[in-house]
Amino acid sequence: MGKIRSDIAWSTADRIVVRGKSFPEEILGKMNLGDFAWLQLTGNVPTPQQSNVFNAIIVALVEHGLTPSAIVARMTYSCAPESLQAAVAAGLCGLGTNVVGSMEGAARYLSEALPKDAPADTDLEALAKQIVARFRQDRIPVPGLGHVIHKPIDPRTPRLFEIAKENGYSGRYIRLLQLVHVEAQRASGKNMPINATGVIGAISCELGFAWKITRGFGVMARAIGLVGHILEESQNPIAREVWSRTEEEATSHVRPEASKS
Amino acid sequence: MGKIRSDIAWSTADRIVVRGKSFPEEILGKMNLGDFAWLQLTGNVPTPQQSNVFNAIIVALVEHGLTPSAIVARMTYSCAPESLQAAVAAGLCGLGTNVVGSMEGAARYLSEALPKDAPADTDLEALAKQIVARFRQDRIPVPGLGHVIHKPIDPRTPRLFEIAKENGYSGRYIRLLQLVHVEAQRASGKNMPINATGVIGAISCELGFAWKITRGFGVMARAIGLVGHILEESQNPIAREVWSRTEEEATSHVRPEASKS
Amino acid sequence: MGKIRSDIAWSTADRIVVRGKSFPEEILGKMNLGDFAWLQLTGNVPTPQQSNVFNAIIVALVEHGLTPSAIVARMTYSCAPESLQAAVAAGLCGLGTNVVGSMEGAARYLSEALPKDAPADTDLEALAKQIVARFRQDRIPVPGLGHVIHKPIDPRTPRLFEIAKENGYSGRYIRLLQLVHVEAQRASGKNMPINATGVIGAISCELGFAWKITRGFGVMARAIGLVGHILEESQNPIAREVWSRTEEEATSHVRPEASKS
Amino acid sequence: MGKIRSDIAWSTADRIVVRGKSFPEEILGKMNLGDFAWLQLTGNVPTPQQSNVFNAIIVALVEHGLTPSAIVARMTYSCAPESLQAAVAAGLCGLGTNVVGSMEGAARYLSEALPKDAPADTDLEALAKQIVARFRQDRIPVPGLGHVIHKPIDPRTPRLFEIAKENGYSGRYIRLLQLVHVEAQRASGKNMPINATGVIGAISCELGFAWKITRGFGVMARAIGLVGHILEESQNPIAREVWSRTEEEATSHVRPEASKS
């Protein structure tokens, strides 16, 4: 038989211990939500600098407007208000390749090109050229670059770079992302911004996270955002209107004239 | 046609505004995750006291050990590692009546018994007697009381009461919960603790939240906890072992001898 | 320690047995999907009559147009096409009280009013009056009656009654539903049809299913319907258009003039 | 503005039309569930041969024992019994790459190697060699081959081949899969069976389905299977036992002696 072991938390009748700390005495009322998320994920209390940077990147992922995820959560809530948790779950299901994939993709190529123990004199420009060349060869847009709405720059990007820098986390991964940006613009002849998820992917590497878990940052942040949308839906609903308009228009080409509104 | 309107966020090419604030300038790097969650939900920046209390109650809901939710998220991730978001979603689906229902239930009877505009001289003891009597009549355990493991007290409870008090949020809802506790013990003749979700339900009322959204606090907090469990599963897996043991034992009464291990 | 036991299926290197039958030899190629669903749920092969009735009620739940569930599944698929299973899951999350609840609600009051061993001379008219009176007292619409679109009758209803009758499953539960219908119209003074989910609830009782599992009929049927919608979305997408229209309209009251389209 | 159009179904006050057919008159009571699933997906009524083959492959995917999906659905139901739909949804979330991916993977390489309009004299043996060589080069196991339990053959495989043949659907895709099997065994020097999902992938190609939708076959079938597991869980629960054993064992290395059972 294999082993079943978890090192996150344990409890007895009078104790609750999370990541080795007494939950009531050392955590509750002493750590904010972002800092506790860091502890939950890494097993360590963040430094003030880590706290600043980590809170910023998670905050940046909470609310992205009336996205498909938000519409999905609202529609699900309107049909099953007794299962609020299922409405959030439904909204999260869409946080895949076409949404948070950009963050994951950026973190992946940055960390794969530049392992933590890469020599100090690694030629980042050469790496950037290789990264861009490979994406161009595969005819895949470079993750972390470009934005449908935010042009010519994504307004979150300079602020995120600044936060990373102020806290000592503007290292080689951010530099490499910037070089990838320059090279991608040069090779394509097009202007495109570094988008927020690209920066967050790079910052995740700076903070030492594996690229595979970065999608989880988007998921935990968006869960908060979706609860906000569900609360608004309960007060000022839009789901039923979206439904009825969509259904009516979608079938107007086949329904008999008399039943059209 | 009905209206479709949301007041949470909007964006243009160069601006992102959430709850009326410039996201890059006023929020990013200036608010921690818990405070931004408050802004997302209420539309207002929390006071320092609100921040302390709100961060504490959400933090209290992040990690509850290797619960069914955590096992579900881990099992789902082991089958579909490319869909991390779906693993979190699966884990959240179980946050229903038997789990976060206690928090919701407590917030509900407290807020329904004591509307925000209830007169200052409302007899809380009488309300407590009515609440307990009704649950006893319906043969339903009073939400917010009792705990399978934590006896005779839930170690989070006194700490949460303390945090509420230190920040000026120990008002009539907390008092009413305590009176319900006393009355329930008297009526049943049994000792049972006020559990953490009960206190959180009461504090949610103190903070002005509608009972219907309190389940969402559990959902957004647990999303963070589940990402932690998925990260550990990716490093030190248990899902396949739980699966194989369960399947083997469950069918050992019918499988032919030779195939049993 | 408690027991872990399941009696649905088991397998060894060369055998697969479901509900006591050799899957390759006795099931595969010999039972259609609806009949196997019956076997999976009940442990028995359906009679031809049970097969006719059960296939009909599940078929009736597969496709209900461009419902919120279908829109949710399509939107989720458009964001995470690599996780088709999560798109179906998201769509199913909304099959709650406001959607399949009608079927469940009807099955519940019919089976609670009329236990399987109720005497042959039970006064169904009296039961119908009690059922309607209780819902009217609680100001809850009687489940299984009324339809937003299908008036004055739901076109599936007479056909479902007919199928039940032809196969010997038009018994006391259907009779009681019809009496509830008459009484509800009399008491309210309004015309309202028996809707399809109401009939399906009654037929589920005739077939001997517990009311708690009837929601599952809607869930398994709709999973099929949603795969159909996802396939159409992959060929003729609508999700992005619904998204962009919704987001634009929802925020047009706050976005600066210049950015409006 | 883009178009919003769906061609699956429409309804008016007195009509319901699915895939161009009157639902009450032409479908209800006249088509079994598997046949209606075919109509929902393809827009056509299946021939008797298509019905036999399609029902068989979907039936083959309904019940695979106490899989992670089944355990997940049961655990979720035990926590949120009021949200049966969310329990099924949670169970479906895990039907990803490591589970139904085999079917999808097989359908993909078969259909990409052999387009529908490939010349009659296409050298299938050469294609098989190319397919196997590519997977070996990428160090990826060939989808559709091998099984953890069913050795030396998967007992469903010969039966599925037989059903396809009897109904005139044993064509070039099945032949190519068999050649891939031979080549993979030759190249690796290992015996491995063609598994059931591999055959289903090949049959899906024979039936004309795009590989991208084959995962949906697993999803819609398993939804039925999971409702069966939830029904058994409601009668003979195992979820809480799996939970308590798992939690206790996982934390026994850190909990103080006194609290261990």
Provide the number of CB pairs (under 8 Å) joining chain B to chain C: 59
Residue C56 forms part of a structural domain: no
Which candidate, C143, C227, C257, places its Cα nearest to that of C192? C143
Q: What is the pLDDT of residues A166-188, one digit of tens each?
A: 999 999 999 999 999 999 999 99
CA distance C121 to chain D (A): 31
β-strands A21-22, A16-18: how paired? antiparallel
Q: What token pair was written down for B40?
A: 């997302």
Q: What is the mean pLDDT of chain D?
A: 96
Residue A232 forms part of a structural domain: no
B147-154, Cβ contacts within 8 angstroms, sequence gap of 24 or more: B147/B192, B147/B193, B147/B195, B149/A11, B149/A12, B149/A13, B150/A11, B150/A13, B150/A14, B150/A16, B150/B193, B150/B195, B151/A13, B151/B191, B151/B193, B152/B191, B152/B193, B153/A14, B153/B193, B154/B193, B154/B194, B154/B195, B154/B196
Q: What is the pLDDT of residues A123-175, one digit of tens each?
A: 999 999 999 999 999 999 999 999 989 999 999 999 999 999 999 999 999 99
| Segments forming the whole domain that contains residue B35 | 1-47
| Same domain, yes or no: B90 and B200 | yes
Residue D260 forms part of a structural domain: no
Model-wide pTM > 0.90: yes
Contact (CB, 8 A) for C87 and A93: yes
With CB atoms and an 8 Å threshold, state whether B258 touches C12. Answer: yes
Question: Please, what is the angle between helix B68-79 and helix D68-79, to 10°?
Answer: 150
Res. C177: pLDDT tops 80: yes
Res. A258 pLDDT band, cuts 50 70 90: low
DSSP E strands, chain C: 9-11, 16-18, 21-22
* Cross-strand partners of B21: B18
CATH, residue B144: 1.10.230.10
A 10 A CB-CB count for D117 gives 5
Q: What is the mean pLDDT of chain B?
A: 96
A 10 A CB-CB count for C208 gives 11
Which residue in this structure is represented by tokens 């000592």?
A: A168
| Same domain, yes or no: B92 and B218 | yes
Residue D74 forms part of a structural domain: no
Q: What is the pLDDT of residues D225-261, one digit of tens each?
A: 999 999 999 999 999 999 999 999 999 999 887 676 5
| Same domain, yes or no: B188 and B112 | yes
Question: Please, what is the angle between helix C33-42 and helix D211-235, to 10°?
Answer: 30
β-strands C16-18, C21-22: how paired? antiparallel
Res. C250 pLDDT band, cuts 50 70 90: very high
Compute the distance between CA of residue B246 and CA of residue A154 in angstroms, rounded to an integer: 50
Provide the CB-side half-sphere exposure for B205 (13 A, CA): 29
β-strands B9-11, D16-18: how paired? unpaired
Helix (H, G, I), strand (E, B) or coil at B142: coil
With CB atoms and an 8 Å threshold, state whether B238 touches D247. Answer: no
Compute the distance between CA of residue B31 and CA of residue A59 in angstroms, rounded to an integer: 8
Res. B158: pLDDT tops 80: yes
Which candidate, A184, A183, A211, places its Cα nearest to that of A197? A211
| Same domain, yes or no: B129 and B177 | yes
Length of chain C: 261
CA distance C66 to chain B (A): 18
**Cα separation values, B99 from A33, B92, B104, D77, Å:** 21, 11, 10, 11
Q: How many domains does chain A have?
A: 2
Q: What residues of A are in contact with residue B155 (Cβ under 8 Å)? A: 14-16, 23-24
Res. A261: pLDDT tops 60: no
* pLDDT at C260 (0 to 100): 61
A 10 A CB-CB count for D137 gives 8
Q: What is the pLDDT of residues A68-89, one digit of tens each?
A: 999 999 999 999 999 999 999 9
Please name the helix (run of DSSP H) or strand (run of DSSP E) that holds residue D11, with its range, or none. Answer: strand D9-11
Compute the distance between CA of residue C67 and CA of residue A75 in angstroms, rounded to an integer: 10
Compute the distance between CA of residue C112 and CA of residue C139 in angstroms, rounded to an integer: 19
CA distance D85 to chain B (A): 9
Distance of CA C261 to the CA centre of its chain: 41
What is this model's ipTM? 0.96
Q: Which residues contact D174 (CB under 8 A, 6 or more apart)?
A: D161, D164, D199, D202, D203, D206
Which candidate, B110, B92, B95, places its Cα nearest to that of B201? B110
Q: What residues of C are in contact with residue D169 (Cβ under 8 Å)? A: none
Which candidate, D138, D166, D165, D152, places its Cα nearest to that of D195? D152
Residue B261 forms part of a structural domain: no
Res. C258: pLDDT tops 90: no
With CB atoms and an 8 Å threshold, state whether C223 touches D218. Answer: no
Compute the distance between CA of residue A198 and CA of residue A157 in angstroms, rounded to an integer: 9
Q: Which residues contact C12 (CB under 8 A, 6 or more apart)?
A: B255, B256, B258, B259, D149
Compute the distance between CA of residue A128 and CA of residue A110 in angstroms, rounded to an integer: 9
Share of chain B above pLDDT 90, in %: 93
Q: What token pair was written down for C136?
A: 């009217």
* pLDDT at B260 (0 to 100): 61
Phi, psi of C22 (to 5 degrees): -65, 115
**Interface mutation target, options A219, A236, A248, chain B, most CBs of B under 10 Å:** A219
With CB atoms and an 8 Å threshold, state whether D12 touches A251. Answer: no
CA distance B239 to chain C (A): 17
* pLDDT at C257 (0 to 100): 73
Q: What token pair was written down for B59?
A: 């933090």
* pLDDT at A259 (0 to 100): 72
Q: What is the pLDDT of residues C219-233, one digit of tens each?
A: 999 999 999 999 999
With CB atoms and an 8 Å threshold, state whether A86 touches D82. Answer: no
Compute the distance between CA of residue B79 and CA of residue B70 in angstroms, rounded to an integer: 15
Q: What residues of D are in contact with residue C98 (Cβ under 8 Å)? A: none
Helix (H, G, I), strand (E, B) or coil at B219: helix
Which candidate, C212, C227, C234, places its Cα nearest to that of C85? C227
Helix (H, G, I), strand (E, B) or coil at C194: strand
Q: What token pair was written down for C5?
A: 């036991």
Question: Please, what is the angle between helix A156-166 and helix A48-59, to 10°?
Answer: 170
Res. D153: pLDDT tops 80: yes
With CB atoms and an 8 Å threshold, state whether A82 touches D80. Answer: no
| Same domain, yes or no: B39 and B105 | no
Residue A222 forms part of a structural domain: no
| Same domain, yes or no: B90 and B181 | yes
Residue B253 forms part of a structural domain: no
* pLDDT at C261 (0 to 100): 55
Q: What is the pLDDT of residues C70-120, one digit of tens each?
A: 999 999 999 999 999 999 999 999 999 888 889 999 999 999 999 999 999
Q: What residues of B are in contact with residue A93 (Cβ under 8 Å)? A: 85-86, 89
**Cα separation values, B117 from B112, B164, B172, D203, Å:** 11, 21, 12, 67
| Same domain, yes or no: D113 and D204 | yes
**Interface mutation target, options D251, D252, D257, chain A, most CBs of A under 10 Å:** D251
CA distance D22 to chain B (A): 29
| Same domain, yes or no: B107 and B143 | yes
Q: What token pair was written down for A210?
A: 């594996």
| Same domain, yes or no: A110 and A38 | no
CA of D5: which chain A residue's CA is closest?
Answer: A250
Q: Which residues contact A29 (CB under 8 A, 6 or more apart)?
A: B52, B56, B159, B162, B163
Average pLDDT (A205-223) is 97
| Same domain, yes or no: B102 and B15 | no
| Same domain, yes or no: B216 and B156 | yes
Query: Which chains sit next to B, with 3 or more Cβ pairs under 8 A?
Result: A, C, D
A183-192, Cβ contacts within 8 angstroms, sequence gap of 24 or more: A183/A125, A183/A128, A183/A129, A183/A131, A183/A132, A184/A132, A184/A135, A184/A142, A184/A145, A187/A132, A187/A133, A187/A136, A188/A136, A191/A151, A191/A152, A192/A145, A192/A146, A192/A147
| Same domain, yes or no: C1 and C21 | yes
Q: What token pair was written down for D253?
A: 């290395």
Residue D123 forms part of a structural domain: yes
Q: What is the pLDDT of residues B51-103, one digit of tens each?
A: 999 999 999 999 999 999 999 999 999 999 999 999 999 999 999 988 888 99
Provide the number of CB pairs (under 8 Å) joining chain A to chain D: 60
